[in-house]
Structure 1
């Protein structure tokens, strides 16, 4: 398989799902199925975004798209073998034998499957593929049959080898989605655009009661659209996801302009709610590319809880500072103007960047 043909395949995948959004997916999600603890057959399903696949294969740039399904199928089969070769599975200290593998492009992600024949004993898997990815990437083992363990096992560059549960073990509810809570918190802390929007809203938020209304409206709104998109009730194609990202930038520009132009912000709660709906689709874009399978409900709950906790931490840090500024009106006015101009400039840059892809 040539480098050119791989680039052509990735061009097709990227065109099928749209340009990468500002919320880069950084998860490889795996479900492992073993009928019984000593069953020799183990089947695994890995889902990842086309962007993650491109990074994993260490390719830059794109080529001409493939025109035939047969050609595409041939390339996917070779890619599947290459990826699974970097994630060897072992049982009882002995290597498992991969007997089959396949790959299929889905709407928002790529699905790679593999079947292994394993000797008796506990399963362990080493994800050497993490060495070829940025350090923030991680592998999440979603479930092992018989016995559902959604989101229970995480691997990253510092711990690339993990023990797979034996198929009969069970974890508590907190153990099942605690990892997704952490991912949600990390996303809000690293989501600079969401933080910029929140800061712009809080700059002229007013008293505690009004701030509570603002934060609640944003929370309710993005929870609604996050749930609708993550559960598949609303489906965004690649172009739609790109315009959602551009709309998030536009929301930042609008709120910053309001801060600079208007003296009163009577409709800020409604504005925050409406833009919160758009930000929810942005949050959903993080989950949509993972192909979460049986763990979607747990992932949605845990991720949303993490987002809310992260948001609460941000508000708790910013609010006392803003309240102190409000006690000095002249200083507060200058601070609102300076920070809003900065947010406006950054939002404008994001708007152009995302609209142009």
Structure 2
């Protein structure tokens, strides 16, 4: 039993020393299409966060830490070399000729555009720039013609993608949905702050029925705000996103303090629902940074489903361990106190980092 408590303590230590930046957007979303079938003109649009762009080229021309439209205009040549030259496009084995580029600052992301002259037939693009990014980065490539059904995913191990003429949409739709589910799973497992919040809830969660109510309240709440934000009903700019992240840290502090100070937690379901609304904004900050546009439905559904599956997996692993510890009241009391103190420390660190950063 003591070994079981030690395992929980080790998990909490990982939470404490883990990265607090749990919601960095790690996707480049691209759309590639021919405005007129059979014609040589091909257009492409890529959306990415300013932080991702900074990993590829020094786009901040004046060095003030804020990316502006003037910075992008001044870095037109650097964008051509650092972005477009690093994602060569071809058709039928013949390189396409780039005929123009654009760069625009949007509310939550950067939008890059280019036009090409290509031979007829399927298009093939190799995203060599992925080798310059952290290994978790991916490219989502779609097309206006096929919309959400034409999505494909690339990463550093498989950087080449093909856009063919419309066909086999069902197979592509399933592939794209599974990829979004995988991204949701990745983000919940890498979301150290969300895991800390879940662990704090489970420590004093009570019986299986009460835990189910807590998890359901959290799920419904963050699904509401994630959906509302991803669909554009609620807008998150950089300032609001920063304070959402600080509020998530505050929710962790609050729950940890309650674990330490209160003997009964009759209001915990309602509190979990309210804090779940805040955590949903955190998940939404990931999707809003992708600039998904017409792919938002597939991205939202798949990403949220992945988050829920990951959350269920975490609960399925931790809850039996917590229940075992609860059978020994003295050990349970010490475990709750020790882990809650660690979670409180982590929440305090994240709050200061986010509120002051």
Does the TM-score normalized on the shorter chain lie above 0.5?
Answer: yes
Distance in 2 between residues matched to 1:151 and 1:342, nearest whole Å: 45
Deviations 1:3-46 (A, max 9, x none): xxxxxxxxxxxxxxxxx964111100001112466432211110
Distance in 2 between residues matched to 1:43 and 1:126, nearest whole Å: 16
Structure 1: segments with no counterpart, 5+ residues: 1-19
Change (3 A) 1:32 1:55: same
1:170 paired residue number: 169
Change (3 A) 1:242 1:132: same
Distance in 2 between residues matched to 1:201 and 1:132, nearest whole Å: 39
For the pair 1:302 / 2:302, whether they are aligned, the reply is yes
Structure 2: segments with no counterpart, 5+ residues: 1-19
1:338 paired residue number: 338
How far 1:64 sits from its partner (Å)? 3.6
Change (3 A) 1:335 1:301: same
The answer to whether the 8 A contact 1:184-1:305 is kept is: yes
Distance in 2 between residues matched to 1:147 and 1:183, nearest whole Å: 22
Distance in 1 between residues matched to 2:290 and 2:67, nearest whole Å: 26
2:5 paired residue number: none
SS at match of 1:290: coil
How far 1:267 sits from its partner (Å)? 0.3
1:77 paired residue number: 76
The answer to whether the 8 A contact 2:22-2:192 is kept is: no
**With structure 1 as the length reference, what TM-score do the two structures score?**
0.89
2:191 paired residue number: 191
Aligned 1:1-357 pairs, distance under 5 A: 22-35=22-35, 38-57=38-57, 63-64=63-64, 71-72=70-71, 74-75=73-74, 77-82=76-81, 83-141=83-141, 143-150=142-149, 152-172=151-171, 173-357=173-357
1:8 paired residue number: none
SS at match of 1:152: strand
2:8 paired residue number: none
Distance in 1 between residues matched to 2:225 and 2:356, nearest whole Å: 25
SS at match of 1:63: coil
Deviations 1:245-288 (A, max 9, x none): 00000000000000000000000001100000000000000000
CA RMSD across the alignment? 2.2
SS at match of 1:30: strand
Distance in 1 between residues matched to 2:56 and 2:38, nearest whole Å: 32
